[in-house]
Structure 1
Amino acid sequence: MTTTSPTGVTHELGVTGPLVDGTWLDKTSVGAVDHVNPATARVNGSVLLCGPQEVDAAVASAKAAHPEWRAMSPDRRRRVLQRVEELMLARVPELGRLMTLELGAPVMVSSALAHLCAGWFGYYAGWADKIEGATIPPSPVMVPGLDYTVPEPYGVVGIILTWNGPIMSVGMKIAPALAAGNCVVVKSPDLAPFTVAGFAEIALEAGLPPGVLHILPGGPEAGEHLVRHPDVDMISFTGGIPTAKKILDSARHTLKPVLLELGGKTASVVFPDADVDAAVAETVRSCFNLSGQGCNLTTRLLVHRDVYERVVQAAAAAAAAVGVGDPFAPTTALGPVVTAAARDRILGVIEKAVDSSRLVAGGHAVDPATLPAPLRDGYFVEPTVLADVAPDSEIAQHEVFGPVLSVIPFATEEQAVELANSTPYGLGAVVYTRDVARVQRVVPQLQAGTVHVNGASGQPPGAPFGGYKHSGHGREGGKEGLYEFLQTKNVFIRA
């Protein structure tokens, strides 16, 4: 595996493939595909894709391994997960480089996400020996005896990861599933399998028994077979709404539970008494993180008319100042989008939106002449700000999944809430105001799984994350995220 200096020519990832029963396979039933570095548009690795045959083998191994993993004393599971955290923290730079090479994510971002992933393993390691049930008090009409509950793992959990920063989902899904005593079969994304493979190597080194964790890079056929498999007891999925509907349709054949973390159209709501400079800086930073390819990024900026033009100009200036280019450069904040098709789709969305809004920053592919020579064929889109966006327009209602910020005015508090809630999504919202009473009025009205006030939290491991409406159901992170991977058994012992 070779990495380079910020302006180097060679970016190599080598070959990655499936991990089944503790062994990395060197061939699959589907075969290999090239992996393209989005920063250079050059092949930088090869991915061995999986199909139903590999899924069947992995599920069989996980099912066989589950009784021993479930029966392992919780303190031993805790120590294994703690060791995963320790090794991940020691290898954050290595994991960050993998993510930068496969996704073009700026190294400052990819390293931070790897660090977050390690934090979830440490957090859920602490829960492994603290999973408790409850004693049910007897009632006057109850037959005398002892009534209590026992939380139990599902068994084999299928985990389907999305390509945009899958290392976060590794921490939010795999860590609690393992802490709860489940075995997991992971379908990693074909666009971004290398970081997940790097994590799996760490997990094996940490002492995770063979059969407890399986990694299967693959496409839709592998994912559908995993969901339909009768020996998979639960599915956890992160991705888009169309795929989620297909997963739910496939899951109905076995009636298995499905946890869904889907898209978002998060709004920053700026009231006239807010710290406007801080609100703009935080919103722009979030919107252009991972080149706008994230579900909970603040892609809408709702601004009171009293400060609207000031915010529009500040957002345009902030976007123009975003460092764009080589993702290995420490000053780069915005790298490429994931594929040429994604770039072209994003530019098409912007072009359509310009007909009914005001373009104040960006709006085009990055001029290749401004990039180092090895990057001139990469998939770069300028950080873009559109003002006067119609609230019911396509760009305001649906995910762009690119570096595009839509600015929308409002006149009253009631209108601000209405606009914030006006999309099909309900993943997040941010409110900027110094008025505590307004916070207490507005926050309960926002249809969002996470609401931040005057700035984002950075997603600590103990905080639950998930959405309302079309943003999915279930929670990841925190105690709630652990209990998603447990089912409750009630036990009654007659006196």
Structure 2
Amino acid sequence: MNISTEWSGTVLPERHRDAAQHLPAPRLVIGDKQLSSGSGGVFEHINPSTGEAQAIVPLAGGAEIDAAVQAARAALPIWRDLKPQQRRVLLDRFADLIEARFDEFTAITPLENGICRGTFDIGLRPRVIAWCRYYAGWTDKLDGLVTATPPSECFEFTLPEPYGVIGHIITWNAPMLSLAMKVMPSIAAGNTVVVKPAEFTPFSSQRFVELALEAGIPAGVINVLPGLSSAGEALVRHPGVDKISFTGGPIAAKRIMADASASLKPVLFELGGKSANLIFPDVDLDETAAYCAAFGLSNNGEGCALPTRLIVHESIYETFMERLAAVVQSLPLGDPLDPRSYIGPMVTRAARERVTSMIDEAKAQRAGRLLCGGQRAEGSLANGWFVPPTVFTDIDPNCRIAQQEVFGPVLVGMKFRNEEEAVQLANSTEYGLAAYVQTRDLNIAHRMVRRLQAGTVYVNRATPSANPNSPFGGIGLSGFGREGGKAGLDEFIRLKGVGISVS
């Protein structure tokens, strides 16, 4: 396949330069202060579509992390001791502002990480708003449990309390969703937070905290400091931080766990995935191929729970993979500012090189047959970090591209003969974030749900994070802990047991 770069989505550098002028000036937000410099140095932010520098981002170092933690600790008694109904009013107002001003985030995102404006607006806008409103609603509904009743000599109950200061190290591929999933339940429970976004994506987080302050949430409740991994290490090690929540990869998570272990600090990890999508022969081939292509390559393929391993019944395998490739070839690769683009650039040059190196390795090793993609982007797209969407069929299930997270627009297909083989292939990686099943037979669906080793299983085109009521998280190298639902709120609550003698 040769992805055309001649269509209307061709990158126009002038359009990006003009749009970049409207980005917020990067700042470190600590309490009521916005700092234009930090001891961590600076980061030259590169537009992922053009390869041109578009902003200088101040980076937090240890001094700023310490100041932010102190600001969060100072704000903690103020925020924690507000009546729950008062916190609810403020969080509702905050959610109102996010919804009313969401166009600002839609404008920022393509410049920040290359996610296409159209897909972000359609896919993430309703989810972010739903998560914000959901956790705002929990603020005045936290209660304990009576654990012993008369005629016991002791009246016993539980008292839910906030942890204190939560350190959030958030992801760059969907910073707004990460903020909604982490910060909102934290502050709904009465905690204060220090957020470290990636240096690649400082703008969304900064605007998020600015809207929180505009809503009347006290200064210091949310602090935002973009920084390198050294800033994250300082946050994890800080004695004033009571818990760490991290979204990222397992290598970084192991370092965080080691650092947190020095003080036995609890951690919540939402890590990578290599999600399997089991496709049984009773599905509608056209509908399923369209879903697998569009969802598997959504967010430019940069999604931890995307179903990128297609495990297809042998009786429909060849036909299905051909139809899948046809749909993939129809997805427009182009300028993320153009609402018609579906796939934009990778977030950085390094990310693009990692993805293309995995594609090149699979081709060189003949690990599978290339159905489409696999080449470098051409024309104006060659200046940015674009990767044409790629599909391998008959992939070796043990090769690197079938076992490791690619985090780019790459799908791999393999066939199965029976349920036993399907389960074996699906469970053959070290990850366990999500799994997917496509079948009209609910007996098959229920058997697969029980046997698939994943934190979440989605049947028949259900997708992650669509419903904030449902817990989301992984097992194995995909982490532990849950985000979403009451379980996601409980991650940021400590239960105090209370006993009162009544004898």
Q: Tell me, in whole angstroms, the C-alpha distance in 2 between the residues paired with 1:6 and 1:221.
A: 34
Aligned to 2:496: 489
Q: Tell me, in whole angstroms, the C-alpha distance in 1 between the residues paired with 2:273 and 2:132.
A: 25
How far 1:215 moved relative to its partner? 0.2
How far 1:365 moved relative to its partner? 1.8
Aligned to 2:293: 284
Instruction: Say if 1:424 and 1:469, in contact at 8 Å, map to a contact too.
Output: yes
Identity of aligned residues (%): 46
1:358 aligns to 2:369 (yes or no): yes
Q: Tell me, in whole angstroms, the C-alpha distance in 2 between the residues paired with 1:94 and 1:77.
A: 25
| Secondary structure of 2:315's aligned partner | helix
Deviation digits for residues 401-451 of structure 1 (CA, Å, limit 9, x no counterpart) = 111000011110111111111111111111111111111211110111111
How far 1:31 moved relative to its partner? 2.8
**Which amino acid in the other structure matches residue 137 of structure 2?**
G
How far 1:28 moved relative to its partner? 1.5
Instruction: Say if 2:148 and 2:154, in contact at 8 Å, map to a contact too.
Output: no
The gaps in structure 1 that reach 5 residues or longer are none
Deviation digits for residues 223-259 of structure 1 (CA, Å, limit 9, x no counterpart) = 0010011110000000000000000000011111100
| Secondary structure of 1:217's aligned partner | coil
Aligned to 2:70: 60
State which of 107, 125, 130 in structure 1 corresponds to 2:117. Answer: 107
Q: Tell me, in whole angstroms, the C-alpha distance in 1 between the residues paired with 2:16 and 2:124.
A: 25
| Secondary structure of 1:391's aligned partner | coil
**Which amino acid in the other structure matches residue 482 of structure 1?**
L
State which of 171, 192, 208 in structure 1 corresponds to 2:217. Answer: 208
Runs of 4+ in 1 over 3 A off after TM superposition: none
How far 1:94 moved relative to its partner? 1.0
Aligned to 2:4: none
Q: Tell me, in whole angstroms, the C-alpha distance in 1 between the residues paired with 2:126 and 2:86.
A: 23
Deviation digits for residues 280-308 of structure 1 (CA, Å, limit 9, x no counterpart) = 11111122112111100111100000000
How far 1:493 moved relative to its partner? 0.2
Aligned to 2:27: 17
**Which amino acid in the other structure matches residue 499 of structure 2?**
F
Q: Tell me, in whole angstroms, the C-alpha distance in 1 between the residues paired with 2:16 and 2:199.
A: 24
More displaced stretch, 36-45 vs 107-116 = 107-116
Matches within 5 A, 1:72-471: 72-111=82-121, 112-138=123-149, 144-354=153-363, 355-368=366-379, 371=380, 375-457=381-463, 459-471=466-478
How far 1:119 moved relative to its partner? 1.6
Instruction: Say if 1:29 and 1:54, in contact at 8 Å, map to a contact too.
Output: yes
How far 1:6 moved relative to its partner? 7.2
How far 1:154 moved relative to its partner? 0.2
How far 1:100 moved relative to its partner? 1.1
Deviation digits for residues 307-361 of structure 1 (CA, Å, limit 9, x no counterpart) = 0001110111111101110111111100001111221221111111122210001
**Which amino acid in the other structure matches residue 411 of structure 1?**
R
| Secondary structure of 1:28's aligned partner | coil
What count of residue pairs does the alignment treat as equivalent? 485
- The normalised TM-score by structure 1 is 0.95
Aligned to 2:53: 43
**Which amino acid in the other structure matches residue 470 of structure 1?**
L
Instruction: Say if 1:429 and 1:451, in contact at 8 Å, map to a contact too.
Output: yes
**Which amino acid in the other structure matches residue 70 of structure 1?**
R
Instruction: Say if 2:301 and 2:408, in contact at 8 Å, map to a contact too.
Output: yes
- The normalised TM-score by structure 2 is 0.94
Q: Tell me, in whole angstroms, the C-alpha distance in 2 between the residues paired with 1:242 and 1:120.
A: 28
The gaps in structure 2 that reach 5 residues or longer are 1-9
**Which amino acid in the other structure matches residue 132 of structure 1?**
D
Let me know the Cα RMSD of the aligned residues: 1.6
Aligned to 1:478: 485
Summarize the Cα distance change of 1:114–1:52 in structure 2 as closer, same or farther, 3 Å threshold. Answer: farther
**Which amino acid in the other structure matches residue 478 of structure 1?**
G
More displaced stretch, 316-325 vs 336-345 = 336-345
Deviation digits for residues 93-134 of structure 1 (CA, Å, limit 9, x no counterpart) = 111111111111100232242442222111011100000110
**Which amino acid in the other structure matches residue 305 of structure 1?**
E
